[in-house]
């Protein structure tokens, strides 16, 4: 059975790192795309909010008993998301819009998603398999795997935000 306090600590560390980076991101370049087919920092942050909101819904949905180690896919999720040289494509439900966003509002939404996730963790068994969504790369995931999916996905996009910051700095 996963140690919930360790899981929550990992979530908070990941979210704090992301929020701190976003807070320090120059406001004047927050909505600037580094290229025509790229996301701005605000678009990347919006994508994170959309995904984390969706994952929270999946975590609260129907589940079943897991017939394998409930943490089996965490390493694969980690290696996939932290391989920043491999291009991954987001599906339409989690694509950011084109409208400019206020940095403080997006940060507030990220913190709200994190708190909702912590509440879900505290109220549920993490070893159960979620039935609400079959991921295209990873298949059925347990709650604990979805939680680490969020963490490693966030770390991937933190790396992306650092690249965006460098790229837009030369355009201002």
How confident is the model at residue 90, as a pLDDT? 82
Which residues sit opposite 64 in a β-bridge?
A: 129
How confident is the model at residue 93, as a pLDDT? 82
Domains assigned to the chain: 4-169 (1.20.120.450)
Encode pLDDT of 57-110 as tens digits: 999 999 999 999 999 999 999 999 999 888 888 877 888 888 999 999 999 999
How confident is the model at residue 172, as a pLDDT? 58
Distances (CA, A) of 84 to 22, 160, 165, 170: 19, 8, 16, 22
Encode pLDDT of 104-160 as tens digits: 999 999 999 999 999 999 999 999 999 999 998 999 999 999 999 999 999 999 999
Task: With cut-offs at 50, 70 and 90, classify the pLDDT of residue 37.
Answer: confident
Contacts of 168 (CB under 8 A, 6+ apart): 29, 32, 33, 34, 40, 41
Reported pTM: 0.94
How confident is the model at residue 19, as a pLDDT? 97
How confident is the model at residue 52, as a pLDDT? 97
């Amino acid at each position: 059975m996963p140690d919930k306090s360790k899981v929550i600590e990992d979530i908070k560390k990941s979210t704090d790192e992301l929020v701190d980076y976003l807070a320090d991101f120059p406001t004047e370049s927050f909505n600037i795309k580094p290229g025509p087919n790229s996301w701005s920092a605000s678009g990347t942050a919006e994508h994170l909010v959309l995904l984390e909101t969706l994952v929270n819904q999946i975590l609260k949905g129907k589940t079943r008993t897991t017939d394998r180690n409930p943490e089996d896919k965490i390493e694969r999720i980690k290696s996939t998301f932290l391989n920043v040289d491999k291009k991954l494509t987001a599906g339409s439900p989690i694509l950011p819009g084109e409208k400019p966003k206020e940095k403080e509002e997006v940060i507030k939404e990220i913190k709200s998603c994190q708190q909702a996730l912590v509440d879900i963790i505290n109220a549920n068994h993490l070893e159960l398999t979620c039935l609400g969504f079959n991921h295209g790369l990873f298949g059925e995931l347990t709650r604990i795997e979805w939680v680490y999916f969020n963490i490693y996905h966030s770390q991937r996009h933190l790396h992306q935000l650092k690249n965006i910051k460098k790229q837009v700095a030369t355009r201002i």
